[in-house]
Amino acid sequence: MDRFTALQVFRHVAELNSFAEAGRRLGLSPAAISKNIAELEAHVGARLINRTTRRMALTEEGRIYLEHIVRGLDAFSDADRALSPLRMGPSGTLRVSAPMTVTLTRLSAAIPRFLGKYPEIALDLQLDDRRVDLVREGFDLAIRGSDHLEDSTLIARKLAVMPHVLCAAPSYFEAHGRPKAPPDLRSHQCIRFSLSGHADVWEFKKNGRIERVAVSARYSVTSSLAVRDALREGFGLGLIPFPYVENDLREGRLQCALEDWRTVETTLYAVYPSRQHLAPKTHAFLDFLTEEFGQ
Amino acid sequence: MDRFTALQVFRHVAELNSFAEAGRRLGLSPAAISKNIAELEAHVGARLINRTTRRMALTEEGRIYLEHIVRGLDAFSDADRALSPLRMGPSGTLRVSAPMTVTLTRLSAAIPRFLGKYPEIALDLQLDDRRVDLVREGFDLAIRGSDHLEDSTLIARKLAVMPHVLCAAPSYFEAHGRPKAPPDLRSHQCIRFSLSGHADVWEFKKNGRIERVAVSARYSVTSSLAVRDALREGFGLGLIPFPYVENDLREGRLQCALEDWRTVETTLYAVYPSRQHLAPKTHAFLDFLTEEFGQ
DNA sequence: TCCGATCATTCCCCAGTGGTGAACAATATC
DNA sequence: GATATTGTTCACCACTGGGGAATGATCGGA
């Protein structure tokens, strides 16, 4: 039986002192009211309402029961109401995981604007290049740089594609020469971003031809920014997302090599647990992200 | 949908951190658990639990919701528990309405024994010769002297039949003579118990013949005990339940007349609102009554 | 690395439940 | 007395809530 409606019926009947009136309020037939009360009494094992066709009054049991019931029902409507602000406007605490580098280079400057737009949102932003477990660690959303398809039941929205470029400092090219084709890389000093899915093997394409080069690197590091720093110092060649070195290239601090070859690209995804019942706060942040990376 | 089970499911899932385990505890299939949670989320309009097949964690909404829900569910189990003492042993307050006279003559002496036997019962005994409205005034049980069938939806259990006798004091008979047949009563001084259903017309039967006498009385009173007092004083003839005058007759203070005619009788009923879910306290009192009147 | 076990979800199917509407009995009201 | 209202009961029925199996994902261990 449906306890919940039975209890609601009981409450209405008790407070309105009438079966028929309760039925009208709840949009139920008199028959339904009668049955609900009877069921509830059967469940409780006690008569709750003494009644004839014209009069009705709670029994002692009924009074005691009602008292508790009302507390319970109120708690439930409170529960629904407690969620409505979170459902209405974007508010609450938003837990986001994002990789350090991409955040610092492309996002963190814009975040105050986001927080300014949604004063009800508190942002807990965890910068971490690990691939975090969304649900285990309770994140609402994560940003991931991924080069392969998403694996799990999570939802992924593509934010941006970051093509990689092979580059080094002018001083490096002067000292070691400039590679003409991918295989030349074997004799070069390569700097490796170790968290990349293609850290060990660098891939180049031209005219449908694919060249793979197993890279041996004396310097592996878990941040592309550290790679960039090393590149600037002329320590070696690196494969690095274009946006990170855009300024360096324009201003001549770094130069590209093998520009006629296409190489890997990192796709940036926003990942979240489910598309259903997406919380407004999460929705707002998603919009912010797509807008921010969309330009 | 059944909110109640959905909420129970949600609580179990949240506290056990597992859909499957919750299913086992509640005796439900995994499918049912899944559906319940999905329904609840649809009702609430927010995702309550983030989940993959292996991990699950409450969302912010889920935590808030759970907090309220638990209060509500606890209130409900409290409600059930609050009634169980009333269901188990006879206890609580028992409200009984009874006619003054029959109580004083046949019951009140035994009541302390009843209360001694059931220490958890408090008795609120309203002595009132009115015909009270059981449910309107919130009685658990009423004792009624009735000479006609019960009229309403109430349940009536027969307690005793009290035949009436026509009697008066010896002094009265000496002064006014002894009636030989019902019609003689017209010339007698009659004392009337005005609450009786047959106060105006006294009925006598013999050999299937029925005699009705319209009684004119100078003294009408609402208590049979007052009638008895008047009879003892030799003021007139009265039709009165036999038990009330049993001692007087045995000891010669009063004498019968028309003993070869059968006259009306009052049947004593215990009346209560319903046979279903009879509270133990009421049951105990009913047993007490039948025992007390049964001898 | 592969296989078996476990978990949540989805689909389909079905019994059982809660609902309605009408007939009914009791009782207020006019 | 006639009428209207109320709570109960009885069929009847749509629909829901549950089980079972298949599916996809993930974990743990060999």
The one-letter amino acid code at A82 reads A
B283 inside 8 A of chain A by CB: no
CA distance A86 to chain B (A): 8
For all residues of chain B together, what is the average pLDDT? 88
Q: For the domain bounded by A92-159+268-294, which CATH number is listed?
A: 3.40.190.10
Residue with tokens 């009668």: A34
**Interatomic CA–C1' length for residue B21 and nucleotide C6, angstroms:** 11
Tell me: the pLDDT tens digits for A171-206?
A: 999 999 999 999 999 889 898 887 776 677 888 999
Judged by CB atoms closer than 8 Å, whether chains meet at A61 and B76 is answered as no
Tell me: the pLDDT tens digits for B132-186?
A: 788 888 889 999 887 544 556 788 888 999 999 999 999 999 999 999 999 999 8
Nucleotides of C under 7 A from a protein CB: 6-12, 17-22, 25-28
Domain covering B161-266: architecture: 3-Layer(aba) Sandwich (3.40)
| Arithmetic mean of pLDDT, B288-293 | 94
Per-window interface: A 177-206 vs B, CB < 8 A: none
* Residue A267: predicted pLDDT: 86
- Rounded to an integer, what distance in angstroms lies between the CA atom of residue A224 and that of residue A219? 12
- Using an 8 Å CB-CB cutoff, list chain B residues near A42: 277
Q: Are B243 and B292 in contact (CB under 8 A)?
A: no
| Arithmetic mean of pLDDT, B184-193 | 90
DSSP string, B67-84: HHHHHHHHHHHHHHHHHH
Structure-model confidence comparison of residues B22 and A86, the more confident one: B22
Q: Is nucleic acid strand D under 7 Å from A39's C-beta?
A: no
Q: Is CATH 3.50.50.60 the right assignment for the domain spanning B3-88?
A: no
* Residue B149: predicted pLDDT: 46
* Residue B283: predicted pLDDT: 93
pLDDT band at B197 (very low <50, low <70, confident <90, very high): low
Least confident of A35-39, A233-237, B69-73, B215-219: B215-219
- Using an 8 Å CB-CB cutoff, list chain A residues near B137: 57
Residue boundaries of the structural domains of chain A:
3-88, 92-159+268-294, 161-266
* Residue B106: predicted pLDDT: 87
Please tell me if the domain spanning A3-88 has the same topology as the one spanning A92-159+268-294. no
Q: Is the pLDDT of residue B96 over 50?
A: yes
User: And the tokens for A44?
Assistant: 């409780």
* Residue B151: predicted pLDDT: 57
pLDDT band at B275 (very low <50, low <70, confident <90, very high): confident
* Residue B148: predicted pLDDT: 47
* Residue A149: predicted pLDDT: 47
**In Å, how far from its chain's centre is CA B173?**
42
- Give the DSSP H/E element, type plus range, for residue A145: strand A141-146
Judged by CB atoms closer than 8 Å, whether chains meet at A61 and B68 is answered as no
- Using an 8 Å CB-CB cutoff, list chain A residues near B155: none
Residues of chain A under the 70 pLDDT cut: 147-152, 197-198, 295
- Rounded to an integer, what distance in angstroms lies between the CA atom of residue A74 and that of residue A131? 43
